[in-house]
Structure 1
């Protein structure tokens, strides 16, 4: 290659780096020989550009031994266990927490904001772990998690609790996201879903332990100590992960596999550099846009004036405008794109992201108030309501390693994905029939199990489908996009559920409550605890149960309407055999 050709090529590479394209173009990466190296290459080493974080983890996996690899998998497993246990505890306590502030109907509002911010932040986290490294990202997310839980433990208002939960949820999703990235760094494509599936099995224990621990905290201490205690426990389990990674990072530096370079920027130049690099303006636009678009559907009834309030319409209009501005900003003006639209040119990534998003959308419509339904309508305790609710995630977690093993053994994920469709269709369809006060709890558990099987298959297959069509450099980004779609799906599902709940339940309570109890409707509607105070068989409790049954039945029907989309999503997957796919990772990996 002549000097002029070399200069021309280096300028092209620099321009692509600045625009974010060479971070991982799916169709072609420019190699040293000027030849394109895409996902069909024999090796991921052909990539001309790997960011510092990716190079760092490859250096770490090169210098550590197999026993260290096993140790790291065990440590990450323990962190996942604590995270999943706390989520289970919080899920069981949440209706009691919102009821303490007499705002039980606003439960999904808290989740809408946290889901949106948790999803949108994943793309920023992907850039952080690719630029600064996995360890730095892990520590930053742990800090957010701790701050959020401290705020929740000390809150004196629903606003403070919502703020704390949002910070905690960003940290929680971020930690689990980084764990998935680290496990991807430590595994071959063939065995990846087996290890990720095993790492999800702590949810099995959390399903049984979470409700019981939540009940013990609620009855013997308070919800505040639940967050305080588990914050301390989480930090204790995360410290060994950080120490092992830092030790081997230092070892890789001494071996000359990682070079530290001085950027030459001043502190304020560095701040501006990362503001641009992380596209904070884009994050604000997409987060505010989705929040303003979805929140009114839950807030309308709670504002007093409902949809006649100009604030509700204004929020929706501003939300739509902000999302439009986000698209224009990202397409034409962003120095570094926050959302890499080029990935959506790959049909497998489109199918996987839509599958994950629509799956959460469908489930969260009928699941958002399910815990309250089980306790109020079927008079279940905290523990038993938690068992029924978590039968869904229990089934998914139990099956995940087996699904991963089948993918590893056969190399196929597309036809496995089709197998999940009948389970979800049957589970959701039966809920439309059996989500009534007269139904035995055992049938509800059966529906949860069927949905758990189907969604467990979808989650495993969709993740590996995306990772099979990209390089190691792109793993963090595509997993972030995957999480973003899931979070937006969950937030939208919560918004629809909240809209149905706040617009139907008060009217049904007014309709069925006895005349002397009608003035108490706002109080009954606002507190999940007060609803349970009325004994089973009493006229007021029967009216509450009837109202619950009507609104829950409508929620299930709404959720069922999205099931047919799953077929189209799976159809978009490319049929890549992961046993024969290129090598993505380096060093001592499984």
Structure 2
């Protein structure tokens, strides 16, 4: 058991005594809520994933606990490396199909689907267990990486990105939920932020490895190689969970299977996951945001039938989703009740606004640094990743501050002005000819404030729900972030595809105006001539004009953060953890 100080107790852990104290969960009971919707109590089938984890922590040792932390850190390391390599190569992959402008479009669909799917994954791991969800996430990543390694057109690459991103989001989400299961609230962010520290290495190593693969081999081998490495490092985590789950079953701590047939199980999960609701909300957000980026790339205008139909169907889908959830869904897909808590709502909105603001000006930033500043793939990604590097570096220190201070709201309020300052300075310095050092400084400021805001908001959210609802609360948090980033990408893509082609035609010398389309479609064509030549300078001028608009739009959204953070309750996590140490086994 965890000691009063919040660390693992040094006294010997008596597995048999703990097993005797732990009661196997009773059979499934479903109660009718006040609104007529089905509600499952804490001991229902909906809680079996939680019960399995509690059973595992009831039987494992302190050594197993710390070994699991190390194994999860290694998986996070390899996943972060794969993500860093993928991000550095993406502009060149889309350019290889002469579709560089679709970079934002591909990410819009992937991020929305990834965010929505986490709600289903949250239900899945609460019903089936963390191990099954972990394996499923690896399967999605595997499918995505194989498709990327074999893709021959941008359509296949776009589909592969969806598989990869959903799997990547799911893997990170399940790791977070599992860490939440095996930590106390006071110490949780310490492990969360330590699991993010691999990014300190991958920020530098990823772009270099991507560059080596790009010049020495190709992007296909990069994806294949690191997929194999990820699977190798993930296998021990599955082994640990399987071994201790099996041990818990032998001690009678995990209830037997439901006894349903396959057909009955399929019907049960279709209803319980609210498949129709998931489809409606995914279609709604995707169809509303995609047109912003597709208008110019598809040679359509806002008056074209295809664009209008997409927007109309998107709006209708969202309205249908709300009607379905309120009046017809046997089990609601989206847990609206949790958003009645102002801290949960405010924390989720904080994450939404941070991602929305950032991805408006960040979507094409790597391309900007290479085209305008003449940086290499690796160096441009160092500058780009200074944002996340700072957030990951300061994260553990912020978590330690929380552990001893206990408060999350007012430190988050203090971070908002820093975020505003960093973004406002980007407006001033993101112009052709500006020193790269100033751009890096801005990334550091924004990264530091983002690290504070995301750490504090996620902790505030988890402190506002009980253990039974942690998975779904984190899923809501992730959904708000995914929708925020996808809208940010949509705005960036809309500015890019609607303005950059015209500016290229305007600024290119007369003899090169007929090359505007090919230059727009490929980052390699944009850098074909050296800086100082008329064509390259015209491209730089067009980039500068468009990027300045992006930063202004992103910065204008930040003041809403003040409202989002202000509505949090001033929760003290030091006082909230006393009750959670009971009946949760050997946790940190």
Shared topology, TM-score over 0.5? yes
C-alpha displacement of 1:12: 9.7
Which whole-Å deviations, capped at 9, do the CAs of 1:289-344 have from their partners, x for residues lacking one?
11110001000001223223211111111101101101111111111111011111
**5+ long unaligned stretches in structure 2:** 1-26
2:272 is the counterpart of 1:284: no
Spell out the pairing of 1:365-514 with structure 2 (5 A cutoff): 365-514=360-509
**5+ long unaligned stretches in structure 1:** 1-9, 25-46
2:37 is the counterpart of 1:19: yes
Q: 1:543 & 1:133 partners in 2: Cα distance?
A: 56
CA RMSD of aligned residues (A): 1.6
- Report the counterpart of residue 531 of structure 1 in structure 2: 526
Which whole-Å deviations, capped at 9, do the CAs of 1:30-65 have from their partners, x for residues lacking one?
xxxxxxxxxxxxxxxxx8997111010001011101
Q: Do the aligned partners of 2:31 and 2:38 also contact (CA within 8 Å) in 1? A: no
Q: 1:225 & 1:16 partners in 2: Cα distance?
A: 53
Q: 1:57 & 1:522 partners in 2: Cα distance?
A: 55
- Count of residues paired in the alignment: 558
* Compared CA separation, residues 50 and 144, structure 1 to 2 (3 A): closer
Q: Do the aligned partners of 1:16 and 1:22 also contact (CA within 8 Å) in 2? A: no
Which whole-Å deviations, capped at 9, do the CAs of 1:232-263 have from their partners, x for residues lacking one?
01100110000000000011111111121333
Q: Do the aligned partners of 1:153 and 1:225 also contact (CA within 8 Å) in 2? A: yes
2:188 is the counterpart of 1:192: yes
Secondary structure of residue in 1 paired with 2:186: coil
Q: Select 2:537's aligned residue among 542, 555, 569.
A: 542
Q: Select 1:109's aligned residue among 105, 109, 134.
A: 105
- Report the counterpart of residue 318 of structure 1 in structure 2: 313
C-alpha displacement of 1:11: 12
- Report the counterpart of residue 173 of structure 1 in structure 2: 169
* Compared CA separation, residues 229 and 23, structure 1 to 2 (3 A): farther
Q: 2:535 & 2:100 partners in 1: Cα distance?
A: 18
- Report the counterpart of residue 300 of structure 2 in structure 1: 305
Q: 1:345 & 1:20 partners in 2: Cα distance?
A: 18
Q: Select 1:93's aligned residue among 89, 94, 97.
A: 89
Q: Do the aligned partners of 1:23 and 1:473 also contact (CA within 8 Å) in 2? A: no
Which whole-Å deviations, capped at 9, do the CAs of 1:132-175 have from their partners, x for residues lacking one?
00001111111111011100110011000010110110000000
Secondary structure of residue in 2 paired with 1:533: coil
Which whole-Å deviations, capped at 9, do the CAs of 1:398-425 have from their partners, x for residues lacking one?
0110010000011111111112111100
Q: Select 1:135's aligned residue among 131, 134, 138.
A: 131
* Compared CA separation, residues 243 and 48, structure 1 to 2 (3 A): closer
Which whole-Å deviations, capped at 9, do the CAs of 1:565-584 have from their partners, x for residues lacking one?
11111111111111110433
After superposing the two structures, state which structure 1 stretch, 200-209 or 252-261, moved more: 252-261
Q: 1:48 & 1:288 partners in 2: Cα distance?
A: 31
Q: Do the aligned partners of 1:138 and 1:175 also contact (CA within 8 Å) in 2? A: yes
Q: 2:52 & 2:300 partners in 1: Cα distance?
A: 56
- Report the counterpart of residue 148 of structure 2 in structure 1: 152
- Report the counterpart of residue 328 of structure 1 in structure 2: 323
- Report the counterpart of residue 179 of structure 2 in structure 1: 183
C-alpha displacement of 1:20: 4.7
Q: 1:571 & 1:493 partners in 2: Cα distance?
A: 23
Q: 2:465 & 2:264 partners in 1: Cα distance?
A: 33
Q: Do the aligned partners of 1:50 and 1:473 also contact (CA within 8 Å) in 2? A: no
Secondary structure of residue in 2 paired with 1:257: coil
After superposing the two structures, state which structure 1 stretch, 12-21 or 520-529, moved more: 12-21
TM-score relative to the length of structure 1: 0.93
